Each structure stands twice: as structure tokens, then as C-alpha cells.
Structure 1
């Protein structure tokens, strides 16, 4: 059965970020992907130079109108990432509402890209738009720790806090929430990042299936760009294949990420040469070379189940 994704994200001519990071892996896994590029840059902004254009809310509307006029605006999934303009984000909200009305079973995967490590890198006036308009529409949400704290107004300093914050995010709308990275210490040591996942699937009879998981993800000492976009795309794909099992969906997603990152850092270090720090160009994700791992990832990151319950009245 054909499965079609509308992905509204940034685009770069060279390298992998936004739609460039999400489209190829989704296509490899059998999804049709319609891309709207919120920006078109020569390369990501971690390089010394970049040039390009930014799509306005009006231009986004024009593109969507064209799709609508041809009656090809039927989607199974919507995927959104980085946006730095409130009017653009509000136009995205309008499009999602219209597409959800046309297809009530449509799944919206939202990466609420706002900042990291205690600092926002989008204008602060985007936060209320995400909080009040975007997150309530989302079915799957992939914030990092800082973004989850911004959305809920709660700090995460323990595993219990992480669980409480995910529950608060569920109450805002999403059925599945994955905290893609946190600053919490890993039981496996300093070389691991801790991520959390939660699903709260509401059944028509008012009962629910709930699952909370934790993942220890190996750290790699380099700055990669586009990994968050790849994570959200892979979570979309693997939750499609495992809709009731967040544990296996997250294991496959994290394992794909690890394979791609390890292939990238190995290549970057070889090209840079001994003792040299790889450049942003050398650290571009080795996406095409990882095609086999994307299609059929060897599970090398296993999740721990923290809580599971079913048939509780909501």
C-alpha cells in the first residue's frame, strides 16, 4: 500500500540536513515523499559561508494551493522540522489542520526545533506557537531535553522528571513522545547519552496502552548536522512498521543513527588525516553509503522498558 509523506523542512544543495536528511532514507524504506523546502541554502550554516533563500508563509501557501488545486493533497504522514518564522509556522498549522480534516488517520510527526544545551536558536515568539498550536496537533513528538523543558515549563534532572515531562507532553496531544537526548547520567558510563520514549495509545473504548523506555546511545566526539532530522524521519518509518511497539521502533531508529554516524566519523577521520580535525564538509552524513543499514538495521542499541501498562481508563 502506498504511503505518502509531506515533509516541510529546510533544504541544502550540498550535504544532508532537513529534507535532504529525511527524504532519501524514507524513500529507501518505501515511502513516497513530497518535500516543501522552508529554506534553500547552498549548505548548512556550520560552514564558514552559506548563501540561499528563505521561503515565506505566502510562498508556502502558494505551493500548497497548487497541490490542492490538482486534488493530490492526500497524505498519510506530515513531517516538520526547523522553522524560524511565526507566520510560516502558523501557515504550517493551517495546512496540517486541513489535511487532518481530509484524513483523520493522518499522523503528524513533529520535531519542535527550538534550541539545545540551555539556549534557543529560534526567536522566542515561536515557543507559544509550538506550545499552543503545533504540539496539540502532533501525534509523534521528538524534542531534546531543553525543548521538552521549554514546552512543559518543567526541569529534567532525574529519570522520574523525564517520565513526568513525557506525561505532560502526552496531555498536550501527542500519542508518542521521544526525548532524543538528555543530560542525565547513563548507567553505562560517560560515553553514553540517555534518551527516553513514551507511548500512550488511547483506544476507542477509553482504555490505553502505555509504555516507557530508556535508551543508552554511544557518544561520538564530533559535531554532526542533520542527525535530528534523520532521527525524526526514521522514527516515522519504524513506528509505521511497529505502531504499537515503541521499544522496537526506537531501537531500529537509534541503530540506524549509530550505523550512519560511525560510517561518517570513520570516513571523516580517514580523509582529514591523523591528528587533524575533520571539516564540516568531511562530516556530512554518509547517507547513500548507509543504504543497507537504513533498510535493514542490525540492532546494536537496545532499549530498557521502564514502565508498561494497558487497559487503564483515561
Structure 2
């Protein structure tokens, strides 16, 4: 029989509960593999629902595994409903196939309708730099989900935002129009555009800056549109958006300040990418730039999620927010 130590025991704070619906890979860090462990270190009890179960992410050029159908996801939700689960937050990322996406949308809308206080972050993972990762029939389904006006936060890149709104963003003015549409048409409280393809010149900041890109943040409550200038890495890292969204969910749930939250998360992400590059350099003796379809470089450039575990709770803000008139 075990006996408890006589040393006074401090009972820790009970973990908050989040339902994370994303992809899963056996090897590497994307989707739920990139989000779950960091959230657990931040005192989240994570219920993991995998939309796909692959050996590795598709950037390797070859993979094996299975994508969940809408019917299979429906069965999983029926099981969760049967044991009366409740969540403080929902995180939705990459979902393969229109039937699966439709099912996830319906179920998350049902949860938010029953528990309005549940925080829902939707990352509409559809593509980047003009390339779709999903079939085109996913686009109207994402629009239908947003039309429920229950999603709290969305974290698209510029290409994904253009797909959602069916608009082309080519300037600061067209960006402002798009941001206002998100808040007014879809009632989204927080919009965080993780990466803009608009250059400094497009934004009216002067000549384009080499190695720099911009992130855009907006809150419906304040009406402000704020920018951060961030480093652009000359390599392809997967799982970055998934980790970003998970950490942003944590910060926004705790602070409800989207500017400070984004600043903290961008700072952490910069450190994670730095550690990933440095450890890769240490292992191989040279810098590796990951390329789509190149399994060797992809493997070496997987995010160092475990090694960076002490960074996820940091609250440093290394970036300076600025507004543009």
C-alpha cells in the first residue's frame, strides 16, 4: 500500500479542457502532433480527434495512412456525447474531405450553441501561396461554417482569407475591406492573418524589405488593425501554423487581448524556428533548407517540439505592433 509523503502537497490548478480536431502523423510534427504536447505543458487537458492518420506529412512526397470520413467522425462524436464531454475551448485545423469537414462544422456549431462560453479557434487550412491543399468543394463549406456566426477566432494566411471571402487582397485598402467583412458578415471576434503576401511596398511602408514579412491582427471590439513585421525564413517548415494556432488559443483564452497574445506567440515561434535550425545544423554540420517532396530535408527540418517545451509558457513580447492609416 502506498503512503503519501508527509511533505505538504499543493494541489495544482485543474486543467482546462480543449477538443482539438486536426490531422495526425506517426512521424513528425504537424496538426495534433504539433499542438497537443505544447497545450498539455500549458495545463490543457486535450481531447484529440484525428481527421487523418498518416505515417508522415504529405510534404515528404510519399506517405501511407487513412483519412476519416464524415461517418467515422460522426461516430466519434456520438461516443463523446454519450459520456457527456464538455470543453472550455475547441481547436479545428486541417480536415480532409468535404463530408468530414461538414460533420466537424455541424458538431462544433452544436457545441457552441449549447455552450456559448466555449472558445472556438478555427484555422481554415486550405492552402498557401496560391496552392490548394484541399479540394475546391471545401471552400463553400468553410463559408457555411463561418455563416453560423459562432466562431471566435480565425487564423488564415492571406491566400486562405481570399478564398473564404472570394476577394483579392492587393493593397492596404483591399485588406481593410476584407478584415471588416470578416467581423461584420461572420461575427468573428478576432482575426489573425498569420502571414501576408503583401509586401512593405504594398502596405505603403516604402521599399520591400528583404527577409521580412507581415502578420495582421484585428479585433471586432476595438476596430483596430495592427501589424507585426516578422522574419521570413528561407526554408519550408511544416507544422508552424498548427503550433501557432494552439499557442494563440491558450493565450487568448487566458488574456482576451489579441495583440499581446499574438506578440507572445510570434516571439515563441521565432525561438522554436531558431532552435530547430540550430539543432539541425548541429546534427548535420550544415544548414538544411527543406523542400517539398524531398524526404531527407523534410525529415531534418521537423519542428523541435519536445526540445522547446520550456518556451511555451514564456510571455516575452519581442515585436512592436503598429497601425497603418
Distance in structure 2 (CA, Å) of the matches to 1:59 and 1:164: 39
Are 2:55 and 1:42 equivalent residues in the alignment? yes
Where 1:154 maps in the other structure, the secondary structure is coil
Instruction: Give the conservation status (yes or no) of the 8 Å contact 1:269–1:277.
Output: no
Distance in structure 1 (CA, Å) of the matches to 2:236 and 2:230: 15
Equivalent residue, structure 1, for 2:298: 280
Where 2:47 maps in the other structure, the secondary structure is strand
Where 1:123 maps in the other structure, the secondary structure is coil
Match of 2:216 among 176, 187, 196: 196
Equivalent residue, structure 2, for 1:311: none
Post-superposition CA distance 1:194-220 (Å, at most 9, x none): 11000113xxxxxxx333210111111
Instruction: Give the conservation status (yes or no) of the 8 Å contact 1:57–1:87.
Output: yes
Equivalent residue, structure 2, for 1:211: 224
Are 2:307 and 1:289 equivalent residues in the alignment? yes
1:273 deviation in Å?
2.6
Match of 1:238 among 232, 241, 251: 251
Equivalent residue, structure 1, for 2:108: 96
Q: Structure 1 residues 275 and 87 mapped into 2: Cα distance closer, same or farther (>3 Å)?
A: closer
Runs (5+) with no aligned partner, structure 2: 1-13, 291-296
Equivalent residue, structure 2, for 1:176: 190
Equivalent residue, structure 2, for 1:115: 127
1:133 deviation in Å?
2.2
Equivalent residue, structure 1, for 2:30: 17
1:176 deviation in Å?
0.4
Q: Between Structure 1 and Structure 2, whose CA radius of gyration is higher?
A: 2
Where 1:177 maps in the other structure, the secondary structure is strand
Aligned residues: 298
Instruction: Give the conservation status (yes or no) of the 8 Å contact 2:288–2:300.
Output: no
1:21 deviation in Å?
0.7
Instruction: Give the conservation status (yes or no) of the 8 Å contact 1:197–1:212.
Output: yes
1:109 deviation in Å?
0.4
Q: Structure 1 residues 126 and 251 mapped into 2: Cα distance closer, same or farther (>3 Å)?
A: same
RMSD of the alignment, in Å? 1.8
Normalised by the length of structure 2, the TM-score is 0.87
Instruction: Give the conservation status (yes or no) of the 8 Å contact 1:250–1:303.
Output: no
Are 2:159 and 1:146 equivalent residues in the alignment? yes
Where 2:316 maps in the other structure, the secondary structure is coil
Q: Which moved more, 1:225-234 or 1:165-174?
A: 165-174
Q: If each structure's strand is expressed as a fraction of its own residues, which one has the higher value?
A: 1
Are 2:128 and 1:105 equivalent residues in the alignment? no
Distance in structure 2 (CA, Å) of the matches to 1:76 and 1:268: 37
Distance in structure 1 (CA, Å) of the matches to 2:288 and 2:36: 32
Match of 2:92 among 65, 80, 89: 80
Distance in structure 2 (CA, Å) of the matches to 1:275 and 1:144: 27
Where 2:52 maps in the other structure, the secondary structure is strand
Normalised by the length of structure 1, the TM-score is 0.90
Where 1:288 maps in the other structure, the secondary structure is coil
Equivalent residue, structure 2, for 1:164: 177
Post-superposition CA distance 1:69-96 (Å, at most 9, x none): 111x211111111123111111111211
